Structure 1
């Protein structure tokens, strides 16, 4: 979760939630769902990674 990410990038949880997360949502790289935070296909494309096939249609922008 967000605590693991905070530890991995040596950043405070509050900074991630208040600064980084809104930016990623605004750019279309992440969405918040009832299941938690999820990356979008835009994020996979940006990094040149093939998105896993979920078959659920969870991506907000597709």
Structure 2
């Protein structure tokens, strides 16, 4: 739950997935499926930085 709250993981129908934020935290390039995805929104719909 903590990593989901911090925006590093997201829940999907297929299970948990690392977000673009998690990939960037480790200095890695996100896979193409995440590279074009919009940034995650916070609780109030604002884009996180």
When normalised by structure 2's length, the TM-score is 0.67
Give 5+ residue unaligned stretches, structure 2: 42-49
CA radius of gyration, larger in: 1
SS at match of 2:32: coil
CA distance in 1, matches of 2:39, 2:11: 10
Q: For the Cα contact (< 8 Å) 2:20–2:39, is it kept in 1?
A: no
**1:60 Cα deviation after fit:** 6.6
When normalised by structure 1's length, the TM-score is 0.54
* Bigger RCO of structures 1 and 2 (CA < 8 A, at least 6 apart): 2
Q: Number of aligned pairs?
A: 40
Higher helix share goes to which structure?
A: 1
